[in-house]
Structure 1
Amino acid sequence: MNDGIAPAAEAPPARILGLLRELGELKRIRSAGREGSIADRLFASAWSALCGGQALEEAWRATTASALAATRLGDIDRTVLAEVGVTGGEAEAILSRAVDEAAEEVEPALRAALRDAPRIPAGTPAPDFVPRLARQPRAGVTCPGRPRLLLEPPENHAEHCLMVAVYGVLLCPFYGARPETVYLASLAHHLHNAIIPDSGFAGEVLLGEHLEPAFARATEKALQELPPALADGVREARAILPDASTPEGRAFHAADTLDRVLQIEQHLRAGKASMSYVLNDMALVHEGPVKPFQDRLLAVVGLAA
Structure 2
Amino acid sequence: MADSSQIEPAAPLALRDLLVELGDLKRVRSAGRDGSIAERLFAQGWSALTGGARPETVALDITAKALAAARLCDLDAAFLAAAGLDETQASDILVAGLDAVSEPLDPALRERLRDALRRPADLPAGPVPAFVGALAQQPRAGVTCPGKPRILLEPPENHAEHCLVVAVYGVLLSPFYRADPTTVFLAAMAHHFHNAAMPDAGFTGEMLLGDHLWPIVGRCSQWALDELESELRETVAAARLVLPDDATAEGRAFHAADSIDRVLQIAQHLRAASLTMDTVLGEMELVHAGPVKAFQDRVLTDMRIP
| TM-score using structure 2 length | 0.95
Determine the structure 1 residue equivalent to 2:30.
31
Corresponding residue to 2:238 among 232, 236, 239: 236
Q: How far is 1:121 from its partner?
A: 2.4
Write out the 4+ residue segments of structure 1 that deviate beyond 4 Å after TM superposition. none
Distance in 1 (CA, whole Å) between partners of 2:9 and 2:182 is 19
Q: Which amino acid aligns with 2:138?
A: Q
What does the per-residue CA deviation read over 1:70-106, in whole Å, with 9 as the maximum and x for residues that have no partner? 0111001111011110121111111111112221111
Q: How far is 1:116 from its partner?
A: 0.5
Q: Is the 8 A contact 1:157 1:190 kept in 2?
A: yes
SS at match of 1:123: coil
Q: How far is 1:124 from its partner?
A: 1.7
Determine the structure 2 residue equivalent to 1:11.
11
Q: How far is 1:9 from its partner?
A: 5.6
SS at match of 1:147: strand
Determine the structure 1 residue equivalent to 2:160.
158
Question: What is the aligned-residue identity percentage?
Answer: 58
Determine the structure 2 residue equivalent to 1:191.
193
Q: Is the 8 A contact 1:168 1:252 kept in 2?
A: yes
Distance in 1 (CA, whole Å) between partners of 2:122 and 2:46 is 10
| TM-score using structure 1 length | 0.96
Q: How far is 1:7 from its partner?
A: 4.0
Q: How far is 1:119 from its partner?
A: 3.8
Q: Which amino acid aligns with 2:39?
A: D
1:76 aligns with 2:75: yes
1:63 aligns with 2:62: yes
Alpha-carbon spacing, 1:45–1:120, altered in 2? closer, same or farther (3 Å): farther
Q: Is the 8 A contact 1:186 1:252 kept in 2?
A: yes
SS at match of 2:150: strand
SS at match of 1:243: coil
Q: How far is 1:8 from its partner?
A: 2.7
**CA RMSD after TM alignment:** 1.5
Corresponding residue to 1:291 among 280, 290, 293: 293
Q: Is the 8 A contact 1:167 1:255 kept in 2?
A: yes
Q: How far is 1:246 from its partner?
A: 0.9
What does the per-residue CA deviation read over 1:198-254, in whole Å, with 9 as the maximum and x for residues that have no partner? 000000000010000100000111011111111101111011001111110100000
Q: Is the 8 A contact 2:187 2:243 kept in 1?
A: yes
SS at match of 1:245: coil
How many correspondences in the alignment? 300
1:81-230 aligned within 5 A: 81-117=80-116, 118-119=120-121, 121=123, 123-230=125-232
Q: Is the 8 A contact 1:140 1:151 kept in 2?
A: yes
